[in-house]
Amino acid sequence: MNLNVLKDNIEKTPAYVFDENIIDSNLSQLIDLKHKSGCQVLYSIKALPLGQVLSKAKDYLDGLSVSSLFEARLAREVLGDEGVIQITTPGLRDGEVYELKELCTHISFNSINQYHRFDKKFLLNTSLGLRINPKISFAIDDRFNPCRHYSKLGVGIDSLNSIPVDIEGLHFHTVFSHQDFLPLEQTVAVLKKKFSDELGRLKWLNLGGGYLYNQIVDQQSFINLVKQLKTEFDIEVYIEPGKSVVNNTGYLVSTIIDSFSSDGKRVLVLDTSVNHNPEVFEYQKTLTLLEENKHGYFSCILAGSSCLAGDLFGEYHFEKLLQVGDRIVFSNVGAYSLIKANRFNGYNLPDIYWIDKANHYTLIKSSSYENYQKQWIG
C-alpha cells in the first residue's frame, strides 16, 4: 500500500478505505483451507456487513452467519434462494423466530430454555442446533471470553447430559483473534469426550469464528482436525470467520485539526474519534498507525474530537512533528469499526471508499447532515 497514493485519493477525511485486493487474498486463503480440509466457510457478517463484501462472500464462500433478524434479512437478500445462513444469538425474540426460520437454514439455540420455548413443528425445514459453552477459556480478558464465569453464551457443557433428539448440530465460538489452532484442538477433544456416542448422529458442527486464519502459517492441524471429524462422525464442519476476512482490508484516514501542549505533552486532535472505531475505547485497543516510527523522537497523544476526555487513540512516536493539516492512516480497521461507528456529538460518519482490483478509488458512501437530521427529527 503506497501511503501517499492512499491519502491523495481521498477527497475529504475522515474516511474508511477498503481494499478489494486484500479481501480477495483473504478469501482465497479460506478457499484453499476449505479445499484442503473439507470444511464449509461462512462469513460472519457482523464484522462488516458492507454490500461489496457480502457479494464477494456470496461468490466465494458457502454462505453467511448472522446474529439478528436484520442481519438475517440482509444475508438472504444478498444470497437469494441459495446458500447457507446460520444464526445463533442470546437475543432470539419470540415474535421473530418464525421469520428467521424462513431466512436461515440453521438456528442454534443459545440456551436450553430458548430451545424449549419454540414449538419445533413450526421450525421444520430448518436444521436446529445448540450453542455449547465448552467451558475452557482461552481469552485472558473476560470482556471477550464467551467461556467466562456465569457466561450468557451457550449451554454449559456440564449441564447437558445428552443432546436432545431433534438437535442436528452443535455450535461453539470460544476465542478472540487467536493465532494458532491449539484452542480448537482442545475444545474438540472436550466435545468428543463428552458426546462421543452422540456426535455420529449429528449432521453438522460449527466451530465458530475468532481465528485469524490469514495470519496462521501452519494450517495443517486445522486440516487434520476437520478431516478427522468428517471421517469419524460423517458430519459437515462449518467455520464462520469475520475479522480474518476483513480486518486487514480496512484503513481509517484522518486529518490533524489542532495541535497544542497539555502538561508538557503534545496533543494532536484528529477529525475522527473513538466513535468511528469504538473498540479502541471499549477494549483500550491500540491501533496500528502507518506513519508511526516507534523509535521516533517526537511523541504525541492522538486525540479524537469528541467531548469525552477518554476519547484518545493513545501515544504515538514520530520521526518529525506532525502539523495541523497532515493526514494520518490507521490500518487493520476493517472489522468491527464501521459497523459500530456512530455520530456522537453530531460529528458526521466517515466517507467510505473502495479500492478495486485495478487500484481505482471509488467513493461508495457518504453521510450528510440530512442523514443525521432524519435519524433524530425525521
The correct pick among 129, 134, 154, 242 for binding ligand PLP (CB under 6 A) is 242
Q: Which of the 8 DSSP states describes residue 343? A: -
d(Cα 187, Cα 174) in Å, to the nearest integer? 9
Q: Which three cell numbers stand for residue 215?
A: 495470519
Report, in Å, the least distance between residue 335 CB and ligand PLP. 6
Residue 272 near ligand PLP by CB under 6 A: no
Closest CB to ligand PLP among residues 241, 304: 241
Nearest CA among 333, 278, 277, 326 for reference residue 298 = 326
Report the b/e string of 104-122 with b at 16+ CB within 10 A: bbbbbbbbeebbeebeeee
Report, in Å, the least distance between residue 329 CB and ligand PLP. 22
* Overall residue count recorded for the chain in this entry: 378
Of 13-21, 24-32, 113-121, 206-214, the window that binds ligand PLP (rule: CB under 6 A) is 206-214
Residue 334 near ligand PLP by CB under 6 A: no
Q: Which of residues 18-77 bind ligand PLP (CB under 6 A)?
A: 44, 47, 65
Are 347 and 273 in contact, with CB atoms under 8 Å apart? yes
CA distances from residue 262 to 127, 138, 259, 294, 363 in whole angstroms, order as listed: 59, 40, 10, 21, 37
Q: Which of residues 162-191 bind ligand PLP (CB under 6 A)?
A: 173
Report, in Å, the least distance between residue 114 CB and ligand PLP. 14
Residue 208 near ligand PLP by CB under 6 A: yes
Of 228-236, 239-247, 265-273, 282-290, the window that binds ligand PLP (rule: CB under 6 A) is 239-247
What type of residue is 146?
P
Report, in Å, the least distance between residue 108 CB and ligand PLP. 9
Say how far residue 309 (Cα) sits from the centre of its chain.
28
Size of the site for ligand PLP (CB under 6 A): 14
The correct pick among 134, 241, 304, 334 for binding ligand PLP (CB under 6 A) is 241
Closest CB to ligand PLP among residues 145, 221: 145
d(Cα 251, Cα 253) in Å, to the nearest integer? 6
Report, in Å, the least distance between residue 24 CB and ligand PLP. 18
CA distances from residue 127 to 43, 83, 166, 184, 326 in whole angstroms, order as listed: 19, 14, 9, 23, 54
Residue 106 near ligand PLP by CB under 6 A: no
Residue 275 near ligand PLP by CB under 6 A: no
Which chain residues interact with ligand PLP by CB under 6 A?
44, 47, 65, 88, 173, 208-210, 240-244, 335
